[in-house]
Amino acid sequence: MDTSSKNQTLAELCRQYVAQGHTCANQVYVESANGAVVRDVAGREYIDFSGGIGVMNIGHSHPKIVAAIRNQAEKFTHTCFMVLPYEPLVKLAERLCAVAQVKGPKKALFVNSGAEAVENAVKIARYYTKKPGIIAFDNAYHGRTLLTMSLTSKVKPYKFGFGPFAPEIYHMPYAYCYRCSFGLKYPSCDTYCADHLKEFFINQSAAENIAALIAEPIQGEGGFITPPAEYFPKLLDICRNKGILFVADEIQSGMGRTGRMFAMEHWNVQADIVTVAKSLAAGMPLSAVVGKAEIMDSPHASGLGGTYSGNPVACSAALAVMEVYEEEDIVGKGALLGQKLRKHFDDLQKEFEIIGEVRGKGPMLALELVKDRESKEPATDKTKKLVKACFDKGLILLSCGTYGNVIRNLMPLVITDEQLNRGISIMRDGFLSLTR
Ligand SMILES: Cc1ncc(COP(=O)(O)O)c(C=O)c1O
């Protein structure tokens, strides 16, 4: 078959047999991927600024990961840890506990997806505190299962028509300074949004009812919303005084994405429980819940787990990922990439009025696009156009944000300067095309 028509044939099959709810942003089918470059079945190359939604921090097809997967698959692929345990899982638990931003002795639990990690973090927090309530935030994204969809904030497409939702979930405004829910300005606001938690206990639910507060340190899907320095220390102070646990959902912001191993390090605060997934196993389905040993050990025997939880092939891949992080200083590379990206984006913002704000930490940077810098009206249609124009020129970009007007960057942290510059140049052409 002619390779260029292969994309079309596969798209037709997809339309016929794959549920449309499982939407593909692009009908171009992948043949192979390496580092920060993806090749389609027609042989066309794309620079990848999406990393499969932040999963490929160490780059596609890293030889060490491929070898670890092959090696483990040749030994055995499954026994179920609950029936017969194996070395890769316990070794990985040790490594992850050593780096997690949690104080004191820690323990880990492995499951399969980000949503499943969040589900388990909530289960454990409820069990430990013997309280049902969970506070999440506006603009939050925690997954697509019933509980995590209930924690998620954006209604369309994530929640619309899928209710009723799980009970005892509450939402509170986040520190979205560019669009403050309280109409205040930082720093004169004195981070009122954190103090608002005290009002919440009066108007929404008593602190005695709340097991945990769950937050993404930098909201991913919500638009890379990045709270100011005082926010988390203040918020956590209130929580600790009320016996409320803090769950940091680091699924998107963790594993070096912000130029630190975990984003919470930027605020110099520690969580009681952290959820980790995405770049943890370089694409193998694996997620983790890491928390204070006392909290993690509270649920009774067999209260946690699952058939595939902590699959040995996925755990071996993750162990290899941890080695690559050390050997290649992936976190340091990320910090350096963050500086380069910031410079590129600041330059783009000077050139293009449509870029209302550049925000984030390290290479977890986003551009919020607005029709007018004064009114800040979201430029949703132009964001879509930009993503499409860039894709047509060979750059994979992802949008996000409550209004779909934010361009987020989740490229592999090992992207070369040449690939980065080529990508930025395509982006610049894309912005130019919007002005024509
Ligand atoms: C912060 C955060 N939490 C949870 C999830 C859900 O992860 P998964 O899609 O692996 O279920 C995501 C996915 O994007 C995420 O970004």
Q: 152-165, pLDDT tens digit by residue? A: 999 999 999 999 99
- Residue nearest to ligand 1 atom 16, measured at CA: 252
| pLDDT confidence tier of residue 436, bands split at 50, 70 and 90 | confident
Which residues, 6 or more positions from 343, have their beta carbon under 8 angstroms from its beta carbon? none
Does residue 8 register a pLDDT over 70? Answer: yes
Calculate how far, in angstroms, residue 219's C-alpha sits from the geometric centre of ligand 1: 11
Calculate how far, in angstroms, residue 285's C-alpha sits from the geometric centre of ligand 1: 12
Question: What is the reported pLDDT for 215?
Answer: 98
Question: What is the reported pLDDT for 1?
Answer: 61
Distance CA 31, CA 10 (A): 12
Amino acid at residue number 409: N
**Residue 183 · residue 431 · CB < 8 Å:** no
Q: Summarize the confidence of residues 351-362 as an average pLDDT.
A: 98
Calculate how far, in angstroms, residue 279's C-alpha sits from the geometric centre of ligand 1: 11
Does residue 4 register a pLDDT over 90? Answer: no
57 Cβ closer than 6 Å to some ligand 1 atom: no
Distance CA 406, CA 376 (A): 12
158 Cβ closer than 6 Å to some ligand 1 atom: no
Peptide bond into 164 cis (omega under 30): yes
pTM: 0.98
Q: Which ligand 1 atom is the nearest neighbour of the CA of 143?
A: 6
Q: To test the ligand 1 pocket, which listed residue (278, 286, 406, 410) has its Cβ within 8 A of the most ligand atoms?
A: 278
Which residues, 6 or more positions from 118, have their beta carbon under 8 angstroms from its beta carbon? 142, 143, 147, 148, 151, 214, 247, 249, 251, 275
Q: Model confidence over 157-187: pLDDT tens digits?
A: 999 999 999 999 999 999 999 999 999 999 9
Q: Which ligand 1 atom is the nearest neighbour of the CA of 115?
A: 11
For tokens 């290899």, the residue is 320
Q: Which ligand 1 atom is the nearest neighbour of the CA of 249?
A: 1
Q: 137 — alpha (psi -120 to 50), left (phi > 0) or beta?
A: beta
Q: Which ligand 1 atom is the nearest neighbour of the CA of 221?
A: 16
143 Cβ closer than 6 Å to some ligand 1 atom: yes
Q: Model confidence over 252-302: pLDDT tens digits?
A: 999 999 999 999 999 999 999 999 999 999 999 999 999 999 999 999 999
Q: What pairs with residue 37 in β-bridges? A: 34, 47
- Residue nearest to ligand 1 atom 10, measured at CA: 114
Does residue 191 register a pLDDT over 80? Answer: yes
Calculate how far, in angstroms, residue 113's C-alpha sits from the geometric centre of ligand 1: 8
By residue count, the chain amounts to 436
Q: Which ligand 1 atom is the nearest neighbour of the CA of 220?
A: 16
Whole-number percent of the chain with pLDDT over 90? 97
Calculate how far, in angstroms, residue 280's C-alpha sits from the geometric centre of ligand 1: 12
Does residue 90 register a pLDDT over 70? Answer: yes
Which residues, 6 or more positions from 233, have their beta carbon under 8 angstroms from its beta carbon? 267, 268, 269
Q: Which ligand 1 atom is the nearest neighbour of the CA of 253?
A: 1
Q: Model confidence over 201-244: pLDDT tens digits?
A: 999 999 999 999 999 999 999 999 999 999 999 999 999 999 99
**Residue 400 · residue 224 · CB < 8 Å:** yes
Amino acid at residue number 384: K
Q: Summarize the confidence of residues 44-49 as an average pLDDT.
A: 98
Distance CA 267, CA 265 (A): 5
Calculate how far, in angstroms, residue 190's C-alpha sits from the geometric centre of ligand 1: 31
Count of Cβ atoms closer than 10 Å to residue 186 Cβ: 17
Q: Which ligand 1 atom is the nearest neighbour of the CA of 144?
A: 11
Handedness of CA 408, 411, 415, 421 (dihedral sign): negative
Question: What is the reported pLDDT for 3?
Answer: 65
Calculate how far, in angstroms, residue 352's C-alpha sits from the geometric centre of ligand 1: 31
118 Cβ closer than 6 Å to some ligand 1 atom: yes
Does residue 111 register a pLDDT over 80? Answer: yes
Calculate how far, in angstroms, residue 118's C-alpha sits from the geometric centre of ligand 1: 8
Question: What is the reported pLDDT for 366?
Answer: 98
142 Cβ closer than 6 Å to some ligand 1 atom: yes
Q: Summarize the confidence of residues 365-372 as an average pLDDT.
A: 98
93 Cβ closer than 6 Å to some ligand 1 atom: no
Calculate how far, in angstroms, residue 325's C-alpha sits from the geometric centre of ligand 1: 21
Tokens linked to 329? 């200083």
Distance CA 168, CA 384 (A): 36
Calculate how far, in angstroms, residue 398's C-alpha sits from the geometric centre of ligand 1: 15
- Residue nearest to ligand 1 atom 4, measured at CA: 142
382 Cβ closer than 6 Å to some ligand 1 atom: no
